[in-house]
A and B are shown apart, each in its own frame.
Chain A
Amino acid sequence: MKRSVLFNFLLITAVLTLGGAGCKKAPKGTTPIPARTVRAPGPGTGPGPIGPGGAVGEPGVGATGQGGVTSETLKTPEGFAQGDLETFEGMLMDPNAFATATVYFDFDSSVVKSIEQPKADSVADQLKLKPDHKLLIDGHCDERGTEEYNRALGERRALALREYLISRGIGGERIRTRSWGEDRPVDPGHNEEAWAKNRRGEFILLIPPK
């Protein structure tokens, strides 16, 4: 096991290094984007910037939102806005740390079932012991949905797990989410057994750079 963790570590480092140096190997007609040097359009870009948590976290947003946007019956949950992506830059991904904590979902659902919650609890416990570490949650779907619907559903699943961890005392600024939709099945089969394995949320430990 130690060897595989180390191998993974090296692999990730290698990938990140290659990613940074990819410009020279650009295939004709494409220009790679340097992953860590280009500043993303973020807070402060353009007029009317929306900072992380700015619009959503404010009390009173709802009946009379910005620009007359109304949302009386349906609301983005307050207090769950994500932090700045730059605070995650340079961290190393360790997919093995929580490999046994993968959470499974029901068809077309992003509810974290009570039977699955102990796995998320174990992740919360580990994160409490490592306050300088962070977390990436990957949401995945089975193939029984349209592609972009599934990409949004996978994000809802990752966000549901993020909300659960926040409720267990982990700071939301330590957790970022990513959805793969149905693009990364663990089982390529076309049956319920495969689908059940593919409807999942995976935890990836983010290790601070040395």
Chain B
Amino acid sequence: MRLFMTRSIWTGLALAALLPAAQPAETIKITEYAEPTQKPIPIALTGFSSEVARVLEFDLYVVGFKVVDEVAAQFTLRGGNSPQVEGRLTDNISKAVKFAKAYSGGSLRAQAHALADDVVEAVTGQKGIARTKIAFKVARGQSSEIYVADYDGFGATAVTQDGSVVAAPAWVPGQRKLYYVTYKFGNADIVWHDLGSGTRQLFARYTGSNITPAVSPDGRRVAMILSKGGSPDLYVADADGGNLRQLTRTREDESSPTWSPDGRLICVATRMDGRRVLATVPAGGGTLRRLAIAGVANPSEPDWSPDGRWIAFTAQMRNFEICVAPAAGGEAKLYTAGEDPCWAPNSRTLMFTRRVNGRRALSLLDVPTKQIKDAAQISGNNSQPAWAR
């Protein structure tokens, strides 16, 4: 909390002077957001029109680029999109042509995404994320359904048509297969759903709530919260539901498990000594240990980055805040108001939920540059993003 109390005494006094006198200075809390750690990479786009230009600009923005005029650009992407997308990337300092490519097949959007990924890889050496998928929850009135879309929210299609409540989609890594919670059968049950064949099957239907599935990085195990033992505790089972094992035995309400990329640890939200905390436990069983995170209160919804270095989570202070802390614990950085962050495969971009005018929308945050852009929305409350990775 100290982080928010003291920017400096002088700032506090200066702000206090601007506020009504009735408000005592010591109640002022300044939410200090992290400064960007990287400057956006300036790039110019020339020759692209309408939709393709918009796709390229979006794709590059959410991984740390910024589209600028050519005079200010470090790179220039020259090309066109009639009848197909073509692009040639030039380094404006060395004048070297990094690549020149033409794209065929699929939609113009898909070709533009492919070009954006090539730009990212040529400039940063990292794989792009423009052709990845997300799953999320859409709630309208009293019911909700699971949707799958391109990572930018386009092409959203309903995976369920249950007319019930669904929650917490989780991908099987590398497969078109989801685990999620559905209330369709009168209980909060976990099912798996193969998106290729359409096959769906009950995975966990024990008495009480069966909630928040998380699939291990190797796809062989699933962590989840079950209350069959009399309290919401963390369990792990094989991907077919067998070999169930209880990992926590607390009186508190565990929630939102996430796996370390090596599959050894599971991080979960819980409560210790009356305070809400994040904690880790060996996936094969062992001691539940508090993850020491400084600078925030009431963490929940942890998500371990694919590179293993970070845990993104939601802190609930006056508002919900998107935070990132080192996976081994340490100082948390606050990025923006929002909840339920989920890492992209690149371990730098997060998708999260924003509450806008009482409605929930999906948004993207490039953590190093702090650039934020909303994904395309469909009507209703869009929440609980899960990135296929």
Contact = CB atoms under 8 A, between A and B. Distances in A.
Given A40-B202, A45-B241, A156 B232 contact: yes
Given A82-B230, A180-B165, A41 B205 contact: yes
Contacts of B200: 30-33
- The binding surface of chain B is classed by DSSP as loop
A31 B273 CA distance: 45
A156 B208 CA distance: 10
A149 B301 contact: yes
Contacts, number: 236
B256 A149 contact: yes
Interface in B141-190: 142, 144, 159-161, 165, 167-168, 183-189
B194 to A, nearest CB: 9
Nearest to B270: A74
A202 interface: no
A115 interface: no
Contacts of B285: 66-69
A190 B165 contact: no
Contact of A152 (B237, B255, B273): B255
Interface stretch (B109-117, B246-254, B362-370): B246-254
Interface string B262-279: 000000010011000000
A21 to B, nearest CB: 14
Contact of B207 (A35, A62, A69, A82): A82
Interface stretch (B49-57, B221-229, B304-312): B221-229
Interface of A: 19, 27-33, 35, 38, 40-42, 45-50, 52, 55-56, 61-62, 65-71, 73-85, 88, 93, 110, 144-149, 151-156, 159, 163, 176-181, 183-184, 190
Interface of B: 139, 142, 144, 159-161, 165, 167-168, 183-189, 191, 193, 195, 198-209, 211-212, 225, 227-233, 237-238, 240-256, 269, 272-273, 284-288, 300-301, 314, 316, 320, 339-340, 358, 383-384
Given A152-B253, A179-B211, 9 more contacts: A31-B199, A33-B202, A41-B242, A42-B205, A78-B230, A81-B229, A179-B188, A180-B165, A181-B167
